[in-house]
Amino acid sequence: MDSPPQEATAFPEGHLPNMQEAARALANRDIPLVEYGQQIQWRFGYDVVLTAMPDALLSLSSQILSDHGSPRVSPSTVENYRHTASEDGCIVHKLDSASLIYLYPLSLVGFTLRDTVEAESTFDPTLKILTPQPRVYMSSLICYLLEHPLEDCTRRRVTNDLLSFITFYVLRYEPLDTKSGESAEDESEEAYQERIEEGLKMMKSWDWDADEKDYLPIAESVVRDCRSIETLTSCG
């Protein structure tokens, strides 16, 4: 079966109260919160907030955040905007001067609530949210890339998310310590290959459904050579 979600990584103190309050405001209105994109990698130290939810609740969730003091913002006003949210259906809210909240419709991300499991929230240890099963999440990213041509600008988001998932979840790399200025020692080729084989072994142990097994060879290929993610498509 799929590997269970790891224990949540605590947010930096400067962001914790606002994120707790925003997540709690949505949960108090029975909005099912599903971790998505690099938010999943946050459990391994990646500082981004992305959430998916049923399409029918997207507008309500946005209104709740606005009422809670986190205004909706236009992608064109966000410096160094991470992807083309205006073109892929994402709604963005400003949490504070340093943080944004990305809300995605589940129809966009390629899985349903049935494909998720309950996990401890990274916002608040007393709050339970949903996180997609690893094989479902990885398959959804691969499927998106296969279905979109290389010139599609929305691929950048998915390409980055798949690379991050492979790096931090499958290959178990630690986030860089940018504060101390220290860097990890160079990894030998032998150690790197061992890391890849361990990651592939874990992936093969996941409970792949019959309609998902076609993605396993592709998943193995991009883990062995992450550069191939950039050209992964079945279009044209």
pLDDT per residue as tens digits for the range 15-45: 456 777 888 888 889 888 887 765 555 555 4
Looking at residue 79, its pLDDT comes to 52
- Cβ pair 117, 130 in contact under 8 A: yes
Give dist(CA 5, CA 169) in Å, integer.
10
Residue 144 and residue 209 in one domain: yes
42 and 103 housed in the same domain: yes
For residue 7, is it within any domain?
no
Looking at the fold, whether 128 and 20 belong to one and the same domain comes out as: yes
Same domain for 112 and 168: no
Instruction: State pLDDT tens for residues 154-179.
Output: 898 889 889 988 998 899 887 655 44
Mean pLDDT score of the chain, rounded to an integer?
80
Find out whether 176 and 183 touch, Cβ atoms under 8 Å: yes
Average pLDDT over residues 102-122: 86
Number of compact structural domains in the chain: 2
Q: Is residue 8 part of a domain?
A: no
- Asked whether residue 72 falls in the same domain as residue 110, the answer is yes
Higher local confidence (pLDDT), 127 or 209:
209
Selected residue with higher pLDDT from 225 and 181: 225
In a domain, 64, yes or no: yes
Domain containing residue 21 = 16-132
Phi, psi for 148 (deg, rounded to 5)? -120, 135
CA dihedral for 204, 209, 215, 217, sign (positive or negative): positive
pTM higher than 0.85: no
Number of residues assigned to the chain: 236
**pLDDT value of position 41:** 52
